[in-house]
């Protein structure tokens, strides 16, 4: 379904007090979406539940960002990141997302799913992120499928390393 959508240069902007919330199972399949998620995505709740979270993936997003997201949350850490999403009719909307693992309460060890809350990003910060993502995407495309993640991640690492921060500190400091 998602592959047929043609991206439009039309932005939908989050309101200051919006929270976009979703939950997934351990494989990233949607198990819960709040009202604002449904509104921005343009899909019905029925369309969304059971689908992979990439149903709202925007083609401008570098693959390396999602690679980092999954590496981080699978290892039990929380992830912060800026994400450009795409609605059912092709519009885009930027979010700053926090994604955390949910654990089986009895053991506290096994990850049973993930939980994500998104807020409206600061437009000035988005300018910086957009430029970094464009460079990452271009590097991924130049490198080709096999080496895309390495090439995209290198762009990000080369920007962050000289700051002396780790990824999380860098993102939160922008």
Ligand X SMILES: Cc1cc2nc3c(=O)[nH]c(=O)nc-3n(C[C@H](O)[C@H](O)[C@H](O)COP(=O)(O)O)c2cc1C
Give 94 or 155: the residue with its C-beta nearer to ligand X: 94
What would the x/- binding string for ligand X be over residues 105 to 144, using CB under 6 A? ---------x-x----------------------------
User: What is the distance between the alpha carbons of residues 53 and 51, in angstroms, rounded to a whole number?
Assistant: 6
User: What is the distance between the alpha carbons of residues 60 and 67, in angstroms, rounded to a whole number?
Assistant: 15
Pair of tokens at residue 57:
């993936």
Stretch that binds ligand X, among 3-11, 20-28, 135-143, 152-160 (CB under 6 A): 20-28
Residue nearest to ligand X (CB): 54
Side-chain half-sphere exposure of 164, counting CA atoms within 13 A: 0
Which segments of 15-173 are extended strands (E)?
A: 20-25, 30-33, 79-86, 92-103, 111-119
**CB-based contacts of 42: which residues, under 8 Å, 6+ apart?**
87, 88, 89, 91
Give 148 or 155: the residue with its C-beta nearer to ligand X: 148
What would the x/- binding string for ligand X be over residues 48 to 77, using CB under 6 A? -----xx-xx--------x--x--------
Helix, strand or coil, per DSSP, at residue 83 = strand
The only residue of 5, 33, 96, 99 in contact with ligand X, by rule CB under 6 A: 99
Strand partners, 113: 25, 102
Size of the site for ligand X (CB under 6 A): 15
Q: How far is the CB of 164 from ligand X (least distance, A)?
A: 28
90 interacts with ligand X by CB under 6 A: no
User: What is the distance between the alpha carbons of residues 32 and 79, in angstroms, rounded to a whole number?
Assistant: 19
Residues within the interface to ligand X (CB under 6 A): 22, 24, 28, 53-54, 56-57, 66, 69, 83, 85, 97, 99, 114, 116
């Amino acid at each position: 379904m998602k592959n047929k959508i043609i991206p439009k240069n039309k932005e939908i902007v989050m309101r200051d007090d919006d929270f976009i919330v979703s939950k997934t199972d351990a494989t990233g399949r949607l198990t819960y979406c709040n009202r604002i998620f449904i509104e921005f995505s343009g899909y019905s709740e029925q369309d969304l539940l059971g689908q992979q979270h990439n149903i709202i993936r925007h083609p401008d997003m570098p693959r390396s960002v999602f690679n980092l997201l999954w590496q981080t949350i699978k290892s039990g850490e929380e992830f912060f990141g800026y994400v450009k999403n795409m609605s059912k009719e092709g519009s885009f909307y930027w979010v700053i997302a926090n994604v955390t693992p949910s654990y089986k309460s009895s053991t506290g060890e096994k990850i049973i799913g993930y939980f994500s809350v998104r807020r409206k990003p600061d437009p000035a910060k988005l300018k910086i992120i957009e430029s970094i993502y464009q460079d990452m995407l271009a590097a991924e495309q130049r490198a080709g499928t096999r080496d895309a993640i390495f090439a995209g991640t290198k762009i990000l690492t080369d920007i962050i390393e000289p700051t002396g921060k780790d990824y999380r500190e860098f993102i939160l400091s922008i």
